[in-house]
Amino acid sequence: MPQPTSTQIIEGQRQDWNRVAGGWEKWDRLFDEQMAFLNHRLVADARLHAGMTVLDLGSGTGYPALLGAQTVGPSGSVIGMDLAEHMLAAAGRKATRLGLSNVSFRTGDVTTLPFDANSFDAVTSRFCLMFLPEIPKAASEIARVLKPGSWVAAAVWSAPEMNPSIGLSMAAIKQVIELPPPDPTAPGIFRLAKPGDLAGMFQQAGLTDTTDQEFLADWSYASAEEYYTSLMEIAAPVQNLMAKLTDAQQQDVKQRILQAASNYRRGERIVFPMAVRFVAARKPL
Ligand SMILES: C[S@@+](CC[C@H](N)C(=O)[O-])C[C@H]1O[C@@H](n2cnc3c(N)ncnc32)[C@H](O)[C@@H]1O
């Protein structure tokens, strides 16, 4: 089968994430409560402070752009970019609810940044870069738009075995239908899981002082059902695989996922370990 072109991958991403935007808004509270620490870590790694002009790549429904805007305050500003206009519409509604007038959202592919060189005091990105067909090109663009001495900070998923809440759904699907072995260079959730991968791309792009740290945490759900339902409503890549199944196969996968999730019961809740890779780098002075 011919490989999809970069343009086709990007268009697929746009459609996928637009399709799940309603799910992201529906489950926002649950995920924000549990993943706010990621935003704080990115804000720290990117060295945000009052008055800065910040670019957030793949903002989705506003993370970490909203915390970035609160951190840089009224004398600073944040631009959040994303392919998916419906995700950004949700981000815009949150900004309004929070009374933030220093954050704006615009649609676009983060591989081609529509900004002049040396425009930003920092770049942040949470769970976006692994979905790009041309990550090194995005790294070069980040290096171009950063001001000398400024930082980029990105969060990407670490290895599937360290993230069973994502990995077990994939494993359940693979038990029911044969999937081609994953191409480790194809865009996807775990594309940047390998230590040093993204950091190496930042270095290749001319950035220095790279750090690459795996951060371990937990996230939890009220029940296996809550886990399953939220996963299916927000995880576009998992939804895509489920769409390949018949109704009976989907029911089979659901039962397998519920069963596997129940192995993570701790007291009243289902608690999964998670592992996120934080990668930061700086543009030389
Ligand atoms: C998993 S979501 C993460 C959203 C948000 N940063 C968060 O952590 O909640 C991935 C986001 O990356 C966006 N994305 C994927 N490829 C992109 C590209 N080439 N340019 C811009 N955004 C992209 C998707 O539209 C989606 O909103």
Residue nearest to atom 10 of ligand 1 (CA): 128
pLDDT in tens, 220-277: 999 999 999 999 999 988 888 898 899 999 999 999 999 999 999 999 999 999 999 9
Tell me how far apart the alpha carbons of residues 56 and 4 are, in angstroms, rounded to a whole number.
27
Report residue 57: phi and psi, to 5°: -100, 125
Choose one of 10, 13, 57, 134 to mutate for the ligand 1 pocket test, by most ligand atoms within 8 angstroms of C-beta. Answer: 13
Spatial contact of 280 and 151, defined as CB atoms under 8 Å apart: yes
pLDDT at site 1: 62
Tell me how far apart the alpha carbons of residues 101 and 84 are, in angstroms, rounded to a whole number.
21
* CA 71–ligand 1 middle distance (angstroms): 21
Residue nearest to atom 26 of ligand 1 (CA): 60
Residue 126, C-beta contacts closer than 8 angstroms, at least 6 positions apart: 38, 39, 42, 56, 58, 60, 63, 64, 154, 155
Q: What is the DSSP string of 228-266?
A: HHHHHHH-HHHHHHHTTS-HHHHHHHHHHHHHHHHTTEE
Angle of helix 224-234 relative to helix 28-45, nearest 10 degrees, comes to 70
* CA 20–ligand 1 middle distance (angstroms): 12
Instruction: Tell the residue number behind the tokens 């990117």, with chain if given.
Output: 46
Instruction: Tell the residue number behind the tokens 């701790």, with chain if given.
Output: 266
* CA 82–ligand 1 middle distance (angstroms): 6
* CA 57–ligand 1 middle distance (angstroms): 7
Spatial contact of 42 and 153, defined as CB atoms under 8 Å apart: yes
Q: What is the DSSP string of 65-131?
A: HHHHHHHH-TTSEEEEEES-HHHHHHHHHHHHHTT--SEEEEE--TTS--S-TT-EEEEEEES-GGG
pTM above 0.85, yes or no: yes
Q: Which of 113, 118, 116 is nearest to 148 (CA)?
A: 118
Choose one of 82, 94, 115 to mutate for the ligand 1 pocket test, by most ligand atoms within 8 angstroms of C-beta. Answer: 82
Taking the CA of residue 125 as reference, the ligand 1 atom at the shortest distance is 6
3-state secondary structure of 205: coil
Q: How many CA atoms lie within 13 A of 116 on its CB side?
A: 2
Q: What is the dihedral of CA 81, 41, 121, 119, to 10 degrees?
A: -20
* CA 267–ligand 1 middle distance (angstroms): 34
3-state secondary structure of 165: helix
Q: Would the CA dihedral through 147, 110, 70, 44 be positive or negative?
A: negative
Tell me how far apart the alpha carbons of residues 235 and 237 are, in angstroms, rounded to a whole number.
6
Provide the phi-psi class of 267: left if phi over 0, else alpha when psi is between -120 and 50, else beta: left
- Domains of the chain listed by start with CATH number: 6-159+184-218+275-282 (3.40.50.150)
Residue 171, C-beta contacts closer than 8 angstroms, at least 6 positions apart: 260
List of the chain residues with pLDDT < 50: none
